[in-house]
Structure 1
Amino acid sequence: MAGYGGETTAARAPGDVIAGRYRIGGRLGRGGMGTVWRAADELLHRQVAVKEMHLPDAGLTEADADKQRDRALREARSVARVRHPHVVVVHDVVEQDGRPWIVMELVDGRSLADLLAEDGPLAPREAARIGAAVAGALEAAHHHGIQHRDVKPANVLIEQAGGRVVLTDFGIARVPGSNTISETGSFVGSPEYTAPERMSGRAAGPESDLWSLGALLCAAVDGHSPFHRESIGEIVHAVALGDITPPASVGPLMPVVRGLLERDPARRMAAAEVRTVLTAYAERGTEPPTPPLPTGPLLPAQAGAQAPAPPFSPAPEPPVPAVPPARKRGRVAVAALAVAVLAVVSGATAAVVVTRGEHDAGATAAVTTPRTVTTAPVPAARTPTTPPTTPTTPAPYPAGFQRITDPLGFSVVLPEGYARDPQPPRTYYWSADHSFRFGEREQPPGNAYEVMRAQDAAGPKVYQGYRDGVITRTVQHGQPAVLWQFTYDGFGDGRGARRTFDLCWTEGGRMYDIWLSAPLSRVEEERHTFDTARATFRTP
């Protein structure tokens, strides 16, 4: 098989055993720096993904071999430092025939790149959910001084069962205390998603990852990066000189995209802020506010940066105006930047990884589910039902839903056919097929966040196979609230794993806790039902 810089020294095939333990199955993906395989861990009896690092076939010096081993160790150490539900888990690093291999968790799903290619662009709300997860992963990585430096759709995985989002491929990450690939004088990365300061070879900090996230959000709702062009030179010009005009399809995400695609790194939104506003929109449809205009001087190298955009009005959605052109003096400065970028790129053409055809899957531990491809046109965007912008405003019931007024005094809109099942202090409502279970509980007022944290900590003892627990601060009925999401193995009735959405808040001197659980295979239907229940829930 072809590798980066030449043929790999040893062809692998299904059935081969690595390090006496990992038996290779099918190939999952291949990129410039490595090939990822499905494998069976014969010691622990679990499925994993193993990444084979590419080495040149001939002329490999000991120094070259050491460099490749250091690369593998750097990637493994990068991920091992960051324990976060949206960062891929590394289990082991082994060596076989002088070649390093990284053993990772197997994420059963597709990359965002594959999803966009096969299903088409996403609705803004789903893009926000994915973007919030990536922002959280970056926030955790940056906390440890690690810069990912290759955030793009091919390196974001979406788990098929529960929709979990995972950031992968830290192969060119900058790790404190170690040299990096790009410091040897060549550029490595994906130009369409690379920040201008990195392209030009200038010092780049964590803010560079946030620029990439802005481009990724645009790609999620529009199908491709706003800097997509036919040649490297055109991409460089778009990033360094062109008007930054996000696609109108970003809709209510425009303030976030504008805040991320700032040429001046000092003006970009921070990962924590991005995560907060995207989570709010993904969960309850609260549109991100237009960020305040930044103050302070521009960086000298960014004297030609574009002015902040005016506030975005989501309805109606006129074509997004181009950002006013920079002053002539700034054009000269940015033109010099473009020349520097072109020099870096032209001197390292072989090192630029541009995904065409098969997606770059250098660390993409994804299982591509076989599917039938048809020639029928796909919709421009999937449109899951979005709850009202203001949860306290009554909305027409979705088709097939009805309002239920419980004897305890609360009311909620649920699908028709739900039956009451009181189990004090909880009140349950079951769907007709006994797959969905809505629950409500009242208790004395308290700190909702602490309550959810305690339940999350007790999760492994209460729920068989408890995993993927995430707690998020939010708002309900104008009051501080907390949303807890998790997966567990289910009721033991043969229907498999379940996903739960649990919202807790204090209102009118009482603490309310409402939740919905459903089979993982129906998580999107569950999300719609929970959003409707949350938006229509009324206290006594």
Structure 2
Amino acid sequence: MQGQLVAGRYRLADSIGSGGMGRVWRAHDEVLHRSVAIKELTAALYVSESEQAILLARTRAEARAAARINHSAVVTVHDVLEHDGRPWIVMELVEGRSLADAVKEEGRVEPREAARVGLWVLRALRAAHTAGVLHRDVKPGNVLLGRDGRVLLTDFGIAQIEGDTTITRTGEVVGSVDYLAPERVRGHDPGPSSDLWALAATLYTAVEGRSPFRRTTPLTTMQAVVEEEAAQLQHAGPLAPVINALLRKDPATRPDASEAEQMLAEAAEGRRPSGAQAYVPTQYGGTPYRDVHNGMGTAGTGMGTTGPGRG
């Protein structure tokens, strides 16, 4: 397909990425004479004609939602078009690599740099949530690291569309199930806190070089997400308490975006976040603190004490 002209305007150059939903191309906009990235939704090749129409309609709707987000850490969506019977998404081209590629190539990311990356992703998420948009697929592959030092979040609400059976059939949910918050695995509706949990899992992967909950099969991975605690962080430094706080199973006991942003900013400066202590399970004389609401011991669960005003 290299050299193909899409929609009479975008000349495909080389493939720069691929995933369960599609392939991303570097392309040249022959009208505005600029380089762009185009995501080809190859998932549409494997569904029925009626499902293709649904996928196109939902892609347009999600792209419109993403276009409402005005933030420097969000990859800009320029256009959504139909070509060869399937949707194509025209986006800002980011010269660089994904966080997933960085981990694969280097093994791990230094904690302060990971905190800086996390801070920008969080700011992008806050802007999205303010605009009423949930990302729903935060993971290392969707965090882009520009050669100019920028950090950008891509694929807002596009790579994974809630409730769409075609998405499951193409394998996208299975492919990133280890970054789905426990409440999502249980089938509950996602909220902003679900995106923050996925950010924490992403940062865990960055500093440790491995996903915190990935197991040998999708089923055992989902069981781990819901039932198990992540292995203790070994290389996270001041970022560790932030990740642990955001990985709490109960979304009501996680830090909100404002608290998380403050903690990430401090970790990016190499300081232990001052607000992190509120999310550390407390023990008295070797006896686990017991949550007054549910009587559950907190040793090893990370779910006992809560921050001020969280009850």
| TM superposition score normalised by structure 1 | 0.50
Residue correspondence of structure 1 range 69-80 to structure 2 within 5 A = 69-80=56-67
Quick one: structure 1 residues 259 and 40, their matched pair in 2 at CA, closer, same or farther if it must change by over 3 Å?
same
Q: Which residue of structure 2 lines up, in the alignment, with residue 48 of structure 1?
A: 36
For 1:150, the equivalent position in structure 2 comes to 137
Mapping for residues 51-130 of structure 1, pairs under 5 Å: 51-57=39-45, 60-61=48-49, 63-130=50-117
User: 279, 285, 295: which is aligned to 2:270?
Assistant: 285
DSSP 3-state at the match of 2:236: helix
**1:103-155 superposed Cα distances (whole Å, 9 cap, x missing partner):** 10100000000111011201110010001011111111111121111111011
TM-superposed deviation, 1:27:
0.7
1:234-313 paired onto structure 2 within 5 Å: 234-282=220-268, 284-289=269-274, 290-293=276-279, 307=298
d(CA) in 1 for partners of 2:194, 2:260: 14
Structure-2 residue corresponding to 1:204: 190
Matched residue type, 1:35: R
Amino acid at match of 1:23: R
Determine the structure 1 residue equivalent to 2:308.
none
Q: Helix, strand or coil: the match of 1:37?
A: strand
Q: Please tell me the residue identity of whatever aligns with 2:178.
A: E
Given residue 220 of structure 2, which amino acid in structure 1 is its aligned partner? E
Retained in 1: the 8 A contact 2:44–2:55? no
Comparing 201-210 with 111-120, greater Cα deviation is found at 201-210
Displacement of 1:54 in angstroms is 2.1
Tell me how far apart the structure 2 counterparts of residues 324 and 16 of structure 1 sit (CA, whole Å): 53
Superposition map of 1:301-450 within 5 A? 307=298, 322-323=300-301
Tell me the number of residue pairs that the alignment of Structure 1 and Structure 2 aligns: 289
Match of residue 168 from structure 1:
154
State the distance in 2 between where 1:65 and 1:244 align: 38
CA deviations 1:153-191 (Å, max 9, x no partner) are 01100001x2100101124478xxxxx442559755311
Q: Secondary structure at the match of 2:15?
A: strand
The structure-2 alpha-carbon separation of the partners of 1:293 and 1:95, relative to structure 1 and needing over 3 Å to count, comes to closer
Name the amino acid aligned to 2:42.
H
Query: 1:288 is aligned with what amino acid?
Result: P
| Aligned mates of 1:49, 1:32 — CA distance in 2 | 17
What letter matches 2:236 in structure 1? V
- Indicate the percent of aligned positions where both proteins have the same amino acid: 47
1:427 aligns to what? none
Structure-1 separation of matches of 2:136 and 2:28: 30
Aligned residue among 19, 22, 31 for 2:7: 19
Secondary structure in structure 2 of the residue aligned to 1:43 = coil
> Which residue does 1:182 correspond to in 2?
163
Change beyond 3 A, Cα 1:305–1:79: farther
1:38 matched residue in structure 2: 26
What is the match of residue 284 of structure 2?
none
Bigger share in strand: 1
Q: What stretches of structure 2 of length at least 5 have no aligned partner? A: 281-289, 305-311
- Per the alignment, in what secondary structure is the counterpart of residue 91 of structure 1? strand
Match of 2:128 among 141, 158, 162: 141
Higher mean alpha-carbon deviation, 105-114 vs 201-210, is at 201-210
Q: How far has the Cα of 1:245 moved from its partner?
A: 3.3
* Map of 2:119 onto structure 1: 132
- What secondary structure does 1:100 align onto? strand
Q: Contact (CA 8 Å) 1:208, 1:265: kept in 2 or not? A: yes
CA contact (8 A) 1:192 1:225 kept: yes
| Rg (Cα) greater in structure | 1
Q: Secondary structure of 1:249's partner?
A: coil
